[in-house]
Structure 1
Amino acid sequence: MEQWNIWLDRDVWIAIGIVVAATAAIYTVLRALVGIVHKRLTTWSKGQDGNWQHFVAVVIGRTNRTLLLAFSLLLALRLPDLPGSWQAALSHTWFVALALQIALWVDTGVRLWSRSLVIGKHGGSGYNPVMTTIISIMVLIVVWSVMLLSILANLGVDITALVASLGVGGIAVALAVQTVLSDVFASLSIGVDKPFEIGDFVVFGEVAGSIEHIGLKTTRIRSLSGEQVVCANADLLRQIVHNYKRMDTRRIVFKFGISYDTPSDKVRQVSERVGDIIRATPQTKFDRAHFLGFDESQLTFEVVYIVQSSDYNQYMDIQQEINLQLLDALRELDVRFALPRRDLRLVGERMPTLKVAGVPQQAEPEANDQDQRLPRFS
């Protein structure tokens, strides 16, 4: 009966009325403040998705109305005098509501941050979406785990055994899927360090092609012959990767040879003409052209120049034009390209004489051991 009589007390209903009125007033004020701040920040950040005003506006817009109402009720309950047990319960409820709201704000901020990394500035290409997804998931797991453990600890639950169990279970899972995890962390390393990106032309080992997809476990490459090459991320990072997409210029070295019977003055002119040809070719920078040395059947020239472009097709067009002009220049100088040639000398032996029926024989000169004789037909 005493429990029911308390509800007949006039002071109790006055306290309840104060709490309800204060809750409504506080909730209205907080809603208005949140709405004003959100509207102002949204107006300031209009057309500028990457600035901090837009970021804060989106985070504030994630304020939960239920949690805001609970927060207002907790504030209102502090106005009347309450028993000590009620005060302890209110302190726990305060922490739960505040922790949940902070976790929601952080969750929204992390998702917005990861999306901005993928999109990049000014709508351009940003970071690898796989990398940003992995980072955002890891951060969100940490945030919500810390929030839940903090709430349990605030409610008086002993979380020591729970944390220890999670640690042991995490080690066991990591050992079971260590191969997969190595590829996942390799993917994260690719996303952070960015040795290559989607669309880059890479060469490693016997593989040459363009990056098509960078996943959690594998990277897929479209090779020059057309097939798709799938390589594990961890294995890919263990190799030396040549990224030709990031090459600004190409240093070209090529050689050619001219005949040994070319006079020395024309040999000098060949170097000068090669330099004139390359200097007159667009998108090139001449470095050097030298008479390199004496090879088996040619006088060898070595030419070095720089192509001011990374495009392989453009380099081949330039090299073709240089070759054609070099061919015309050598013809004007009356200089012949070297052809494979080999001279044979027989010392100390007499060349055999071949006799053909019906052909009169001629007197043969005396043999000389130092002569080089060709076969004679008779």
Structure 2
Amino acid sequence: MSKTGNAATSEDQALFQSVADIELFWEQVLVWIANHYLSIAIAGAAGAVIVAILYGLRMLGTRLCRRQHLGHWPRIVGRAIARTNLFFIVMLASKIVSGYAAPPAVVADTVRFLFTVAAAIQAAIWVRELVIGIVEHRAGDDEESGYSTLGSAIGIIRLLVTAVCFIVATLAILDNVGVNITGLVASLGIGGIAIGLAAQGIFSDLFASLAIIFDRPFRRGDTVNWDKTTTGTVEAIGLKTTRLRSVTGEEVIISNTNLLNKELHNLTHTMRRRATLMLGVTYQTPPETCRRIPDIVKGIVTRQDKAVFLHCSMINFGASSLDYELMFDVLAEDAEVFNRARHEVCITILETFAAEGIQFAYPTQTTFTAAPDGTMVMPYPEPETSPKPARPAKA
């Protein structure tokens, strides 16, 4: 079969360059089947077994996606396996058994080419599913809980990951079929640099969004304090900006880059909230009573649920009061629990001080005057003394 030998194609040439090549291909296939039908049958049976095993693995991946109790990693891997293409399964089995059946060069090159295409596309699908699965898990993309971290930004990330994966797969296919992709890769690199410089601000916010995904400084629904000036609840996190609903009602829009570049306090998961109160009593309070005030206040705080007393002590002689500092913690994440505990402490202090006769001080000022000789004069007139009654004369 000299005709067959002359038609052998090299790896750097196209498989079929004319109609004659196609006719030659079928002639070689028929001759190969006639001479190796037994090995072909065995290879076909082995290929069928391999296809069945791989298809079973794909079914297993589909079941893993539905098992919520297994954790996120088995479900991410299961979703990737479930996206295995049937064409890739068939070509993988063909590639494995093709060596045993001793096919002609054209058939072997055809199997190799189809397997390369199927493997590149399948690898892109697997990488895409794994990356998107990890991103969605880190973002907490759960519609039932209502706490999606990035919302619409997840869709943009899916698009970018898909584009990158399939561009790389296309380049791999072209390289394997003998196409010189050096110029194409250089063009893509230059174009990427130009786009990056033109959209530097957008990409900066995009990377800030990715930082929010993986670092999780906050989520939608959290209460945050930004730059010690703005306090509000996170309503939406987008590709470029984050929207907060401030405590005064207005919507505050902050770019993601600016949001992460300044100090940020997440107030949602505060396990211990601290209250500091200043108490001022009058200077007329007896020293014995002043000494008892810390114990009185301690008893009030310790009676409150989830309240932990830290200290209460006199710290200053104020302009018009004796100043005490009270500090206690409330062990609760909910801000309303903290507010109720602080309210009860304040009201109870008012009631207890009133019962004990302890008066709170308020800003007062006393003016003293002096006589011409320098002696102090009271700011109010001295009460007049009534004259003593005259004694009756003795007889």
TM-score, scaled to structure 2? 0.76
Partner SS for 2:278: strand
Partner SS for 1:281: coil
Pairing of 1:180-191 with structure 2 (within 5 A)? 180-191=202-213
Partner of 1:307: 330
Pairing of 1:212-291 with structure 2 (within 5 A)? 212-291=235-314
Summarize the Cα distance change of 1:326–1:25 in structure 2 as closer, same or farther, 3 Å threshold.
Answer: same
Q: Which residue identity lines up with residue 195 of structure 1 in the other structure?
A: P
Q: Is the 8 A contact 1:19 1:77 kept in 2?
A: no
Q: Give the counterpart of 2:189 among 144, 159, 167.
A: 167
Mean alpha-carbon deviation: is it higher for 169-178 or for 31-40? 31-40
Q: What is the deviation of 1:278?
A: 1.3
Distance 1:87 1:38 in 2: 27
Distance 2:368 2:220 in 1: 62
Segments of 5+ residues of structure 1 without an aligned counterpart are: 350-367
Q: Which residue identity lines up with residue 98 of structure 1 in the other structure?
A: A
Deviations 1:149-207 (A, max 9, x none): 22211111111111111111101001111111111111111222111111111122432
Summarize the Cα distance change of 1:54–1:80 in structure 2 as closer, same or farther, 3 Å threshold.
Answer: same
Distance 1:23 1:221 in 2: 64
Summarize the Cα distance change of 1:344–1:88 in structure 2 as closer, same or farther, 3 Å threshold.
Answer: same
Partner SS for 2:180: coil
Partner of 2:84: 63
Distance 1:300 1:57 in 2: 65
Q: Over aligned residue pairs, what C-alpha RMSD do you find?
A: 3.7
Distance 1:276 1:13 in 2: 97
Summarize the Cα distance change of 1:31–1:56 in structure 2 as closer, same or farther, 3 Å threshold.
Answer: farther
Summarize the Cα distance change of 1:49–1:207 in structure 2 as closer, same or farther, 3 Å threshold.
Answer: same
Summarize the Cα distance change of 1:211–1:88 in structure 2 as closer, same or farther, 3 Å threshold.
Answer: same
Distance 1:12 1:147 in 2: 33
Q: Give the counterpart of 2:128 among 100, 107, 128.
A: 107
Mean alpha-carbon deviation: is it higher for 169-178 or for 283-292? 283-292
Mean alpha-carbon deviation: is it higher for 52-61 or for 188-197? 52-61
The count of corresponding residues between Structure 1 and Structure 2 is 355
Summarize the Cα distance change of 1:75–1:322 in structure 2 as closer, same or farther, 3 Å threshold.
Answer: closer
Partner of 2:50: 30
Distance 2:123 2:115 in 1: 12
Q: Which residue identity lines up with residue 301 of structure 1 in the other structure?
A: Y
Summarize the Cα distance change of 1:24–1:62 in structure 2 as closer, same or farther, 3 Å threshold.
Answer: farther
Partner of 2:200: 178
Mean alpha-carbon deviation: is it higher for 236-245 or for 48-57? 48-57
Matched, 1:146 2:151: no
Q: What is the deviation of 1:237?
A: 1.4
Summarize the Cα distance change of 1:53–1:198 in structure 2 as closer, same or farther, 3 Å threshold.
Answer: closer
Q: Is the 8 A contact 1:117 1:126 kept in 2?
A: no
Q: Is the 8 A contact 2:59 2:82 kept in 1?
A: no
Distance 1:51 1:22 in 2: 41
Partner SS for 2:369: coil
Distance 2:77 2:293 in 1: 69
Mean alpha-carbon deviation: is it higher for 230-239 or for 135-144? 135-144
Partner of 2:8: none
Q: What is the deviation of 1:218?
A: 0.6
Partner of 2:178: 156
Q: Is the 8 A contact 2:32 2:104 kept in 1?
A: no
Q: Is the 8 A contact 2:369 2:379 kept in 1?
A: no
Segments of 5+ residues of structure 2 without an aligned counterpart are: 4-19, 382-395
Q: What is the deviation of 1:208?
A: 1.4
Q: Give the counterpart of 2:321 among 275, 291, 298.
A: 298
Deviations 1:274-326 (A, max 9, x none): 11111222221111111222111111111111112233332232222222222
Partner of 2:377: 372
Partner SS for 1:197: coil
Q: Give the counterpart of 1:199 among 221, 244, 247.
A: 221
Partner SS for 1:101: helix
Q: Is the 8 A contact 2:88 2:115 kept in 1?
A: no
Percent of aligned positions that are identical? 28
Q: Which residue identity lines up with residue 87 of structure 2 in the other structure?
A: T
Q: Is the 8 A contact 2:33 2:40 kept in 1?
A: no
Distance 2:48 2:107 in 1: 25
Q: Is the 8 A contact 1:110 1:140 kept in 2?
A: no
Distance 1:339 1:107 in 2: 68
Q: What is the deviation of 1:215?
A: 0.9
Q: Is the 8 A contact 1:207 1:223 kept in 2?
A: yes
Q: Which residue identity lines up with residue 291 of structure 2 in the other structure?
A: R
Distance 1:346 1:336 in 2: 27
Partner of 2:11: none
Distance 2:246 2:107 in 1: 70
Deviations 1:258-280 (A, max 9, x none): 11122211111222211111122
